[in-house]
Amino acid sequence: MSVVLDVVVREETGTGNAREARRNGMVPGVIYGGDKAPVSVGMKANDILKAINSGQFLSNMIELSHDGKPQKVLTKDVQFHPVTDRPLHVDFYRVTEKTIIDVNVSAVFVGEDVSPGMKAGGALNVVRYSIEVKCPAGAIPENIEVDISGMDIGDSIHLSEVTLPKGVKPGIAGRDVTIATIISSRTSKTAEEEEAEAAEGDTPAAEAAEG
């Protein structure tokens, strides 16, 4: 966990207070969840921008510090200005290292260089670029590897065929979702397909059409 943010508690809430906080270079937010009541907070805008640019702010457990007291949280939502893209409000959810959470983790495809379908000129059709999983908040994987080394043209790989990291379970229950398929392309036609197409072009009907 690399992101630590200093926060101040906002005693007053509401739209007017939030606007005042932004004028003072702060980003308003709220901490909720766990067995405690929601708390309105504010953070320096530059600190939020630095955290976002670090790549560790979303889908990762971070730490908020108020008067030296730490609180582990997940960033649940960030509202951005529609024109300037500057952060306007942040929602945080209280967690512990062992809190089981639902999170989307990026899929990374490996084995393309040895996949029979890819070597034959097929194309990888990605159905899900991220995979919804359940895992401890303190052990969110950076990505999940999806091995397509054994896939041929027409094959699909489903979530049940993906090896998930220890402690990580599928987030979608009751159905085995498709992660990716290998589809044919113009350059992946088999010799038999090419011969069949050539034969079709030699039929009397085709000759008559040409005449």
Q: For 177-190, what is each residue's pLDDT tens digit?
A: 999 999 998 654 54
Number of Cβ within a 10 Å radius of residue 186? 7
Q: Does the structure show a pLDDT above 90 at 68? A: no
Q: Which CATH number fits domain 4-95: 3.40.50.1360, 2.40.240.10, 3.40.30.20, 3.40.50.2000?
A: 2.40.240.10
Q: For 32-59, what is each residue's pLDDT tens digit?
A: 988 889 999 999 999 999 999 988 888 7
Q: Which CATH number describes the domain made up of 101-192?
A: 2.170.120.20
Is the pTM for the entire model greater than 0.75?
Answer: no
φ/ψ of 210, rounded to 5, equals -70, -35
Map out the domains of the chain as residue ranges.
4-95, 101-192
Look at 14-23, 165-174, 188-197 and tell me which has the smallest mean pLDDT. 188-197
Q: What is the pLDDT of residue 172?
A: 84
Q: What is the dihedral of CA 30, 33, 34, 38, to 10 degrees?
A: 40
Q: Does the structure show a pLDDT above 50 at 169? A: yes
